[in-house]
Structure 1
Amino acid sequence: MTKRNNGPQRIGDLLDNIAETATASQPPAAKKDKSSGLILSAQSGKLLDAATEIATNRPTGEDMAFTHAVLCQVGLPRSKVEGREFMRQSGAAWVNVQAGYLDEGNGPVLQPIPYGVMPRLGLAWVSTFAIRHKKREIPIGDSAAEFLRLMGMESDGRRYTTLRKQMHALAAARLQLGFKGRTYNGQPVQQFDAWLSNKETQQRTLWPGIMVLSEDYYRSLIESAVPLDNRALRALKGSSLALDVYAWLAHRLHRLDGRGAILHWKTLREQFAQEYQGKDPDKDFKREFLPVLNKVLAVYPQAKVKRVTGGVLLMGSPPPIPHKGGPTV
């Protein structure tokens, strides 16, 4: 693998970011980083390992992933949604998700609105295959275990169950994406065979052979896909907000030039956390956002983001996947 010249300097910055996210009390599983003397929790230690790998080694092979550009600006819900519709808007971009029905073997079953980590990672997984192979048909039978492996998730029953539930919800959902006068209406998935489970024999869920993306969604994806580092997705898989912030920065930073852009807490909250509606929602959101931002910056070392009075300053930065000299799709 090709090494970066500024690795040691970047590692110091990574440690500073991770240190800011560490809690005062250390769990029994904490470990000590020899170079800094910092006591790291097991979770922070894994984040540092991923950050070090990303900072010192260029992405190759399966390290490259993709997602839709609009979903980098407005994400799916992060927690369970009551009701059958979800709307989020940020500036000129917006997304509307409506729950749909899926035949699970005995007629139509109303699915929940997809939420959380799994549909985000699942969409990236499906989008990556579609772009790599230039085809709408995604073989996801045996690939379900491969997906869990790529995400560093144990292939136990609970993981399969969560993946099945969220992919069912995603396959049934109607999705609208809008940006500057153009609206995509439809469903990302045109055809999907439900992942049936045999309760009588207690056999593992039967996986479908093929998921077919709709022509419109596939065309929109090809035109506007954003490259991401799969190692970063794997490191951030415990937080939907972290995944959203990472995808947002990957899409936006390399488009900035000059003095950059300052985003205030109110603007950031409206983009990422419209559900904060308390007495001081901006302050509540800021308290959650800053530790997440530090984690994201640890696995996106090229990102130039600074905390300033009233918000954060975004400055022009290289994308996580280089435009030139990176891996071929």
Structure 2
Amino acid sequence: MSLFDEDEYARELAAKGLDPVQAAEIARRTAGTCKPGRLPKSAGPADDLFAPSGTVQAAAPARGTAIVSDLIDSAATILTNEPSGSDIAYLHAILCQVGLPRGPKAVEGLTVFERVCGGAALRVTAGALWDGQQLIQQPIPYGANPRLVLAWLNTQAVRSRSPVIPVGDSAAEFLRMLGKESTGGKNGTLTSFKKQIQALAACHMTLGFNAAGRAYTYNGQPVKQFEAWIQPRDSQQRPLWPGVITFSDDYYKSLVDHAVPQDVRAMYALKGSALAMDIYAMLAERLHRISGRPLMLHWKSLREQFGQEYQGAQPDKDFRKKFLPALKKVLAVYPKAKVQQVTGGLLLYPSPPPIQYK
């Protein structure tokens, strides 16, 4: 049984005022995210990224169905409603090229994580936080939560033109600000979220990038000050939660100069996959800067940028199996993006950004 009725979705989009031809194309794109069947064994110049990908599997469990439903709803909203001020978030341009670690296996046993791609590099070093009695070692931040948190903090700083950001009275309140539901328990959203924001607040980052023939380095701690309420150890309340987060001056100035606007509706729709979030960020930063002929990205370069963790017998093949389904999700919520799969990689064509630059 399929999760998605392509024809019905196209009719719904057309009923909302979208051109029927464009509605059919977008429905076809979105259908690709709902068919997790086998990937083609090979891809040539004529292969379409959104062509049927093999056998359609049975409907996913409830959680998977909800994720697909959210993605479809977000794609329709983005298509039919121009972004308002509250729909705009900001990422640092360097973090659009080289993202944070995506999963626990990438940082297991590590205190330093490094990713390099062309003229950009990121190094993340785990730090520690003072809990009122001792310094507590924090892990390296990874996954979707730090990406959402950093985007939210960046956005507040850019909008207010201030590096000082109030973050609410509790983790649950902050989760509501981010549009995330709060669930308890050892492995719940709240526990995971608190762990990752504390890791983000404690870490040190080195950002390296090339611009105008020069090499630049930002080396420091994005979060300069982490003001928290301290609770007794035997209390049932949170042991450590920030009231205010302050960016370092260097990071704040670099962010203001190199902020890349993103459609927060797309980011929330992709929050189930850190890889998809990174692909979206890269396309949002890069596509509108292409002029003239399309840009070719080979699988080797794409794996260096997004999949350094794949080091098995067939790393490129293993990486593609993860990358292509994530890319299909991204293009469903970034309908202006023009991307084509060809032999050896992807072609990127000049495309409008998801949020127009002012």
Q: TM-score, normalised by structure 1?
A: 0.89
The 1:141/1:42 distance shift into structure 2, 3 A limit, reads: closer
1:134 aligns with 2:161: yes
**One-letter amino acid of the counterpart of residue 45, structure 1:** S
Q: Deviations over 1:268-315 (max 9, x none)?
A: 001001111111111111111011000000001110111111111101
Alignment partner, residue 248 of structure 1 = 282
Question: Is the 1:127–1:221 Cα contact (8 Å) retained in structure 2?
Answer: yes
Query: Which residue is equivalent to 2:347?
Result: 313
1:62 CA displacement: 1.3
CA deviations on 1:232-283 (whole Å, 9 max, x unpaired) are 0110000100110000000000000111101111110010011111111111
Q: Counterparts of 1:146 and 1:232 in 2: how far apart (Å)?
A: 22
Shift of 1:151: 3.9
Aligned to 2:311: 277
State the 1:194 CA deviation. 4.1
| Farther-moved stretch of structure 1 (178-187 vs 153-162) | 153-162
1:101 corresponding residue in structure 2: 128
Residue 30 of structure 2 corresponds to which residue in structure 1? 18
Counterpart of 1:327 in structure 2 is none
The code of the aligned residue for 1:203 comes to Q
Q: Which residue does 1:52 correspond to in 2?
A: 76
Alignment map for 1:219-258 (pairs within 5 Å): 219-258=253-292
**How do residues 140-219 of structure 1 correspond to structure 2 at under 5 angstroms?**
140-142=167-169, 144-145=171-172, 147-157=174-184, 158-180=188-210, 181-194=215-228, 196=230, 200-204=234-238, 207-219=241-253
Deviations 1:6-43 (A, max 9, x none): 4544443332223223231113659xxxxxxxxx9332
Flag structure 2 segments of 5+ consecutive residues without an equivalent: 1-14, 37-56
Query: 1: CA distance between counterparts of 2:242 and 2:61?
Result: 42
- Displacement of 1:57: 0.4
CA 120–86 in structure 1, closer or farther in 2 if over 3 Å, else same: same
Q: Is the 8 A contact 1:263 1:311 kept in 2?
A: yes
Opposite residue 298 of structure 2, the aligned amino acid is H
Q: How many residues end up aligned between the 2 structures?
A: 313
Give the Cα separation in 2 of the matches to 1:95 and 1:10.
Answer: 38
Whether the 8 Å contact between 2:32 and 2:328 is mirrored in structure 1 is yes
SS at match of 1:86: strand
Cα pair 2:114 2:124 within 8 Å, conserved: yes
- Cα distance in 2 between the residues matched to 1:138 and 1:206: 17
Q: Which amino acid aligns with 1:166?
A: Q
Mapping for residues 21-36 of structure 1, pairs under 5 Å: 21=33, 22-23=35-36, 24-27=57-60, 29=62
Moved more, 18-27 or 115-124: 18-27
Measure, in 1, the Cα distance between the counterparts of 2:229 and 2:192: 12
Question: d(CA) in 2 for partners of 1:28 and 1:134?
Answer: 44
SS in 2 for 1:41: helix
Q: Separation in 2 of the partners of 1:9 and 1:195? A: 56
> What is the rounded CA distance, in whole Å, between the counterparts of 1:144 and 1:242 in structure 2?
25
1:38-83 residue CA offsets vs partner (Å, 9 max, x unmatched)? xx93322221110000011000131110010000000011112122
The runs of 5 or more residues in structure 1 that have no matched partner are 31-39, 325-329
User: Counterpart amino acid of 1:83?
Assistant: L
Out of 54, 66, 79, the position equivalent to 2:90 is 66
Deviation at 1:204, TM superposition (A): 4.7
CA deviations over 1:162-199 (Å, ceiling 9, x no partner) = 22111111111110000011000100011002465555
* In structure 2, C-alpha distance between the alignment counterparts of 1:321 and 1:222, rounded to whole Å: 16
Q: CA deviation digits over 1:75-100, x for unaligned, max 9?
A: 01111212210000000100001111
Please say if residues 261 and 357 of structure 2, whose CA atoms lie closer than 8 Å, have aligned partners that are also in contact.
no
Seq. identity, %:
54
Q: 1:178 to 1:122 in 2, by over 3 A?
A: same
Alpha-carbon separation, structure 1, partners of 2:234 and 2:170:
25
